[in-house]
């Protein structure tokens, strides 16, 4: 296969502090500016085209005196022919290959917006993030525990003479330590497997970026004392000491 450097960076999971929980219970997500930064960082500006505006009738809701908001208590009117979604086309170049994807974006709650312009903007943002997902950005949030491609491509890229660093960088404190290789195989993956944990989950537990934790797990970076202490708190022993407490 060809050079997957761009694709590897696009697919790399976002660190836990950039991931937000949907208050309505719709899962986790990253904000539009975060998605935009990843695309600009890896690909530069991309071309987008509004293919279609989708309109539909939205049923109103009767007043609810016990509603939790003024809108719920007042009720909402029927909306005829309101903007409920858009179709967006994104065109870019990934690893030298021209790529075009299309996605539908949804205006999740049309009554939350005062006019169709605002509804279209909401739907456009949703469509943009879904197009980004089609080229790998934030795919781990959709795949959740079934996400495997990021590590696979990182391993494949690392087979060359110079391992490629992912697009999302760790904090400055962690960044200063990158490049100190281990002199022995890393035991972190085995410790995670024995404990039923994932590398990404452990990274979130200790407040470390996914990028650095992956490099520690593959032996590319030696864990520094504070990280070893935090890992020992997670596992109940220090995996790098060679034995349990």
List the chain domain ranges.
5-56+82-144, 169-241
Residue 98 has, within 13 A of its CA and on its CB side, a CA count of: 2
What lies within 8 Å, CB to CB, of 105 at 6+ separation is 85, 86, 87, 88, 123, 124, 125, 126, 127, 128, 129, 130
Nearest-angstrom CA–CA distance, 168 and 165: 8
What pLDDT sits at residue 53? 96
pLDDT of amino acid 32? 92
Q: How many CA atoms lie within 13 A of 48 on its CB side?
A: 19
pLDDT of residue 164: 41
Half-sphere exposure (CA, 13 Å, Cβ side) for 47? 9
Distance CA 6, CA 166 (A): 9
Q: Domain 5-56+82-144 falls in which CATH fold?
A: Double Stranded RNA Binding Domain (3.30.160)
Spatial contact of 104 and 144, defined as CB atoms under 8 Å apart: no
Stretches where the chain sits below pLDDT 50 are: 1-3, 160-182, 243-245
Token readout for 182 is 């281990």
The pLDDT score that the predictor gives to residue 180 is 47
Please tell me the predicted confidence (pLDDT) of residue 26: 67
The CATH code of domain 169-241 reads 1.10.260.40
Asked whether the whole model's pTM tops 0.85, one would answer no
Q: Is 85 helix (H, G, I), strand (E, B) or coil?
A: strand
Q: What is the pLDDT of residue 175?
A: 41
pLDDT, position 25: 65
């Amino acid at each position: 296969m060809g050079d997957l450097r761009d694709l590897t960076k696009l697919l790399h999971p976002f660190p836990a502090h950039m991931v937000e929980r949907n208050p309505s219970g719709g899962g986790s997500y990253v904000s539009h500016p975060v998605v935009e930064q990843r695309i600009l960082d890896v690909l530069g500006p991309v071309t987008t085209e509004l293919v279609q505006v989708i309109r539909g009738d939205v049923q109103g809701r009767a007043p609810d005196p016990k509603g939790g908001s003024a809108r719920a208590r007042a009720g909402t009117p029927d909306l005829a022919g309101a903007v409920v979604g858009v179709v967006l086309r994104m065109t870019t170049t990934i690893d030298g290959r021209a790529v075009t994807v299309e996605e539908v974006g949804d205006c999740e709650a049309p009554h939350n917006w005062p006019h169709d312009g605002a509804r279209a903007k909401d739907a456009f943002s949703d469509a943009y993030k879904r197009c980004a997902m089609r080229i790998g950005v934030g795919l781990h949030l959709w795949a959740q525990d079934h996400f495997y491609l990021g590590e696979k491509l990182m391993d494949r890229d690392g087979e060359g003479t110079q391992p490629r660093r992912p697009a999302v960088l760790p904090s400055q404190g962690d960044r200063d330590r990158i490049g100190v290789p281990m002199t022995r195989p890393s035991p972190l993956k085995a410790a995670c497997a024995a404990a039923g944990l994932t590398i990404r989950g452990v990274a979130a537990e200790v407040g470390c970026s996914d990028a650095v934790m992956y490099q520690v797990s593959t032996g590319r970076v030696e864990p520094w004392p504070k990280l070893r202490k935090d890992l020992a708190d997670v596992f109940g022993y220090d995996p790098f000491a060679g034995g349990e407490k």
